[in-house]
Amino acid sequence: MPANAVSSSQARLVHCGDATCLRISGHRPHSAVAIRIAGHDLAVEGGRAWRTTVPIETARGWAHPRGDTLTLTLADRRTGTETEDAVTVPPGALGRRIELATLMVSAH
């Protein structure tokens, strides 16, 4: 993995109290790499494997105009470099309605 690469970042909906939140997770080269969305530093849990939980209303304000992705910025404090990656959110989670031709549901 390159020094600042995001590997298999993902997002899913979770309950956080009475609200709905977006749980975003991924991997980073080391814990000194900060994670940002739309210029906002995120408080993340974990080291190389990290995760954060954001209220869905907040995430909607950070979404691309298409409404189905968020751009993650990984800022390496050691080298001063940044890389970006898009994480796809569950369909319709950020407010955009889409028609699905197929819906696959799995249980874990």
Per domain, the residue ranges of the chain are 10-87
pLDDT at site 34: 95
- What is the topology classification, in CATH, of domain 10-87? Immunoglobulin-like (2.60.40)
- 3 state SS for the chain: CCCCCCCCCEEEEEEECCEEEEEEEEECCCCCEEEEECCEECCCEECCEEEEEEEHHHHHHHCCCCCCEEEEEEEECCCCEEEEEEEECCCCCCCCCCCCCCCCCCCC
Over range 44-63, report the average pLDDT: 92
Evaluate if residue 5 carries a pLDDT over 50: no
Evaluate if residue 22 carries a pLDDT over 70: yes
pLDDT at site 99: 66
Output the pTM of the full model: 0.76
pLDDT at site 7: 47
pLDDT level of residue 96 (50, 70, 90 thresholds)? low
